[in-house]
Amino acid sequence: MYAVLAGGVGAARFLRGLTAAVDPSDVVAIVNVGDDLTLHGLRICPDLDSITYWLSGVVHPTQQWGRADETHTVATELRRYGHDGWFTLGDRDLATHLHRTERLREGGVLSQVTDEIRRAFGVGVRLVPATDDHLETRIHTVDGRDLHFQEYWVRERAAPDVARITFDGAAAAKPAPGVVEAILAAETVLVAPSNPAVSIDPILAVPGVREALHRTPAPVVGVSPIIGGRVVRGMAHRLLPALGVEVSAAGVAAHYGDLLDGWVLDTTDADQSAVVEAGGTRCVTTPTLMDDIEVAAALARTCLSLAAEVRT
Amino acid sequence: MYAVLAGGVGAARFLRGLTAAVDPSDVVAIVNVGDDLTLHGLRICPDLDSITYWLSGVVHPTQQWGRADETHTVATELRRYGHDGWFTLGDRDLATHLHRTERLREGGVLSQVTDEIRRAFGVGVRLVPATDDHLETRIHTVDGRDLHFQEYWVRERAAPDVARITFDGAAAAKPAPGVVEAILAAETVLVAPSNPAVSIDPILAVPGVREALHRTPAPVVGVSPIIGGRVVRGMAHRLLPALGVEVSAAGVAAHYGDLLDGWVLDTTDADQSAVVEAGGTRCVTTPTLMDDIEVAAALARTCLSLAAEVRT
C-alpha cells in the first residue's frame, strides 16, 4: 500500500501517474484541507475536488481544476444579489459542494463524505482528508492583514507580501481515521510535488502526522515541486520566503528535513543533489514536468525505485 | 394601497394584471409559505419565487413557474450521488435558493430577505411572506400517510386521496411584519384566484390574519379560482373535497364565508352568483381566464370596481 501526502493539482497529476504504475486500490492519498472554505453556506474542498476530478477524468483539461464542460449559470445569477464571485463556482462543481454540505449537515464527517464522493466518481484511490476537524490556512500579510488562504490566493492573486502562515485549529485537530494507519502500514510513503507551505505543511501540522512519518518503517520519498529553480505552477515562490525557505529543490528538501529518506529532483536541478545528499537524503533526478501521464507514471516508478533502494 | 392574499401561479398572473391597472408600488402581496421546503439544505419558497419571476418577466413562459432559459446542470449532476430529483431545481432558480439560505443563515428573517430578492429582480410590488415563522402544509392521505405538500403535489402528482390538510406550526406563527398592517391600512383587500385549500388557507391559518380581515375597514374582494365549474390549473379539485368544499365558484365563496364582501366569478359561472349573493356577498361576473395581461388587467379593474361598489 502506498500513502501519499497530497495537495491540489500537482498531487492530482502525480497520483494519476502513480495509478498508471500501481493498482489504484493500493493507494491512499492524505489530502490537505487547509484551503477549504465555506461560500454561500457550502463547504468547498478544493484539493479533494481537484484530485477527485483528475482521477475520474472529468477535470477541466486546460484549467487543470474544476470540471470539464463546466457552466457558470448559478454564479452568474448570484451576481444579481451583489455577490462579487471572486471564487469561481461552476455548476457541476457546485453539485459536489451541495451534496457534501448536505451530508455534513446530516451528521456525516468529512472523511466519510469524501469516501462517498470519490466512489460516486469511480475513483479507485482512497482519498482521506488530513483531518475531519477545522483546520484553516491563514495568510498574514506584511501590511498586517489576516486572510483566508483563498482570499490571498484567488481573490488577491498572491500579490500581498507574506509575513507568516498559520494553520488555525491545527493544534486541536486530530488526524482523520485512516491517516496515521495508512502512514504506519504503507510500503512506501510519498510526498507529492505540492506546495510545501500551504499543501503539505497543513497536513504535517495535524498532531500525530509528523510523528507517524517518523515512526513508520516505510521509506518516505518526496518529489520536488521546483523545476529548474522555479515553481512549475501556482505561487509557492511568494510563500516559501516567508518561511525562510529557498525556492529551490534543495531548499524544499531542507524544509522537509529529516522526514525524507529520498528526494526526487528534476533533471534540470541535478546540481542540487549533492547538498541534499550531504544532508543524508538519497536523491535521484528524472524529468518531473508531468505534461502527460507517461511522464507522471515514469516519475512514480522512479519514486518507488528510490524507495526500494532506500529501504535496503 | 392594495393588499392581496396570494399563492403561486394564479396569484402571480393576477398580480401582473393588477400592476398593469394600478401603480405596483401601491400593491402589497401577502404570500403563502406553507409550500416552502428545504432541499439539499436550501430554503425554497415556490410561491414567493413564482410571483417574483412572473412580476420581473423572467418566468418560464410555458411552464409558468421557474425561470425562462433555465438549465438543470446542478440537478443532473446531483443524480450522481443518488438524489432522485423529484423536485425540479433549475440552475438559475437555485441561485435564488442559495442566496436566500445564506441570508437566513446570516440571521436575516424571511420577510427581509424576500424584500431584498424582489428588489434585486426589480419587482415594484412589495412581497411579504404570511409569516417569518415555520408553517408547513401537510397532506394527510386516506391511506394514512403524512406528506409535505410538495411530496404530495410534485412527487406523487396529487394522486393519493386526501383525508385532511394541516398547517404545522401555524398556531405558534406570527404574521410577518407588514401583513396585518397592510390589511388594516389597505384601500382594498383582494384574494387572488389561488388554491383555497393550500394557498389561501395557510395564510388565514396564521393567528391575527383572519382577525385583521374582519377588522379592516377595507372591502375584501376575492376572485374565484374555479372557471366553468372546474379548476383552471393545479389540482384543487383533489383537495377541496377533503375540506368538504364543493368544487364550484359558489363552493369556494362559501368556504371563505363572511371574510368576503365581494366575489368575482367567471362569466361561465354566472349561474352561481345568486346563491353567493343570497349569502350576503356582492358578485360580479367577468372573464377570469388570464391568458394574457389585458384580461388580467381587466379582471383587476373589475375587482376594484366591485370593491368601490361594496364600500359605498
Closest of B139, B233, B164 to residue B193, by C-alpha: B233
Per the prediction, chain A carries an average pLDDT of 96
Question: Which residues of chain B does A105 touch, with a Cβ-Cβ cutoff of 8 Å?
Answer: 41
What distance in Å separates residue A174's CA from the closest CA in chain B?
A: 27
Facing B81 at nearest CB: one of A71, A77, A120? A120
What distance in Å separates residue B205's CA from the closest CA in chain A?
A: 31
Helix (H, G, I), strand (E, B) or coil at B120: helix
What's the pLDDT score for residue A161?
95
End-to-end CA distance of chain B: 18
Cβ of A73 within 8 Å of Cβ of B71? The answer is: yes
Interface check for B107 against chain A (CB to CB < 8 A): the answer is: no
Residue with C-alpha cell 521509506? A219
What is the DSSP track for chain A?
A: -EEEEE-SHHHHHHHHHHHHHS-GGGEEEEE--TT-EEETTEEE-HHHHHHHHHHHT-B-TTT-SSBTT---HHHHHHGGGT----S---HHHHHHHHHHHHHHHTT--HHHHHHHHHHHTT--SEEEESBSS--EEEEEETTS-EEEHHIIIIISTT-SPEEEEEEETGGG--BPTTHHHHHHH-SEEEE-S--IIIIIHHHHTSTTHHHHHHH-SS-EEEE-SEETTEESSSSHHHHGGGGT--SSHHHHHHHHGGG-SEEEEEGGGGGGHHHHHHTT-EEEEE----SSHHHHHHHHHHHHHHHHHHH-
Q: What is the ipTM of this complex?
A: 0.90
Facing A41 at nearest CB: one of B91, B101, B117? B101
Q: What is the DSSP letter of B229?
A: T
Is A150 within 8 Å of A34 (Cβ atoms)? Answer: no
Facing A101 at nearest CB: one of B41, B73, B95? B41
What distance in Å separates residue B147's CA from the closest CA in chain A?
A: 21
Q: Please give the grid coordinates belonging to residue A95.
A: 453539485
Which helix (H) or strand (E) element contains residue B153? none
What distance in Å separates residue A82's CA from the closest CA in chain B?
A: 9
Cβ-count burial of A179 within 10 angstroms (0-12 exposed, 13-18 middle, 19+ buried)?
buried
What's the pLDDT score for residue A236?
81
Asked if residue A102 has pLDDT above 80, the reply is yes
Facing A41 at nearest CB: one of B80, B96, B102? B102
Cβ-count burial of B311 within 10 angstroms (0-12 exposed, 13-18 middle, 19+ buried)?
middle
The alpha carbon torsion through A258, A260, A266, A268 (nearest 10 deg) reads 20
Question: Which residues of chain B does A74 touch, with a Cβ-Cβ cutoff of 8 Å?
Answer: 74, 91-92, 94-95, 98
Interface check for A37 against chain B (CB to CB < 8 A): the answer is: no
Task: Name the residue in chain B with its Cα closest to that of A105.
Answer: B41
Asked if residue A249 has pLDDT above 90, the reply is yes
Cβ of B96 within 8 Å of Cβ of A117? The answer is: no
Q: What is the pLDDT of residues A44-74, one digit of tens each?
A: 999 999 999 999 999 999 999 999 999 999 9
pLDDT tier at B311 (50, 70, 90 boundaries)?
A: confident
Interface check for B94 against chain A (CB to CB < 8 A): the answer is: yes
> What average pLDDT does this structure show over B225-236?
85
The alpha carbon torsion through B158, B164, B167, B171 (nearest 10 deg) reads 180
Helix (H, G, I), strand (E, B) or coil at B169: coil
Question: Which residues of chain A does B98 touch, with a Cβ-Cβ cutoff of 8 Å?
Answer: 40-42, 74, 78
> What average pLDDT does this structure show over A65-89?
93
Question: Which residues of chain A does B96 touch, with a Cβ-Cβ cutoff of 8 Å?
Answer: 77
Q: What is the DSSP letter of B271?
A: G
Cβ of A80 within 8 Å of Cβ of B71? The answer is: no
Interface check for B95 against chain A (CB to CB < 8 A): the answer is: yes
Asked if residue B237 has pLDDT above 90, the reply is no
Domains of chain B: 2-134+172-311 (3.40.50.10680)
Question: Which residues of chain B does A75 touch, with a Cβ-Cβ cutoff of 8 Å?
Answer: 95
Facing A41 at nearest CB: one of B81, B91, B105? B105
What's the pLDDT score for residue B83?
84
Which helix (H) or strand (E) element contains residue B183? helix B179-185
| CA distance readout (Å), A71 to A38, A95, B96 | 20, 12, 17
Interface check for B298 against chain A (CB to CB < 8 A): the answer is: no
Asked if residue B312 has pLDDT above 80, the reply is no
> What average pLDDT does this structure show over B89-102?
97
Could you tell me which residues come within 8 angstroms of residue A279 by beta carbon, excluding any fewer than 6 positions away?
Answer: A253, A254
Alpha-carbon distance of A109 to A131, in angstroms, equals: 10
What's the pLDDT score for residue A88?
87
Alpha-carbon distance of A80 to A219, in angstroms, equals: 53
Asked if residue B6 has pLDDT above 90, the reply is yes
The alpha carbon torsion through A302, A303, A306, A310 (nearest 10 deg) reads -170
Q: Please give the grid coordinates belonging to residue B164.
A: 385532511
Single-letter amino acid, residue B127:
L
Cβ of B99 within 8 Å of Cβ of A105? The answer is: no
Is B30 within 8 Å of B183 (Cβ atoms)? Answer: yes
Angle at B172 between CA B154 and CA B9, to 5 degrees: 30
> What average pLDDT does this structure show over B74-103?
94
Cβ of A92 within 8 Å of Cβ of B102? The answer is: no
Cα R_g (chain A), whole angstroms = 18
What distance in Å separates residue A239's CA from the closest CA in chain B?
A: 32
What distance in Å separates residue B25's CA from the closest CA in chain A?
A: 21
Express as a percent the part of chain B with pLDDT over 90: 94
Asked if residue B233 has pLDDT above 80, the reply is no
Asked if residue A294 has pLDDT above 80, the reply is yes
Q: How many CB atoms lie within 10 A of CB A289?
A: 17
Q: What is the pLDDT of residues B140-163, one digit of tens each?
A: 999 999 999 999 999 999 999 999
Asked if residue A312 has pLDDT above 80, the reply is no
Angle at A88 between CA A83 and CA A90, to 5 degrees: 105
Cβ of A98 within 8 Å of Cβ of B78? The answer is: yes
Q: How many CB atoms lie within 10 A of CB B56?
A: 16
Interface check for A289 against chain B (CB to CB < 8 A): the answer is: no
Q: What is the pLDDT of residues B41-88, one digit of tens each?
A: 999 999 999 999 999 999 999 999 999 999 999 999 999 998 888 998
Is A55 within 8 Å of A15 (Cβ atoms)? Answer: yes
Asked if residue A156 has pLDDT above 80, the reply is yes
Alpha-carbon distance of B312 to B300, in angstroms, equals: 19
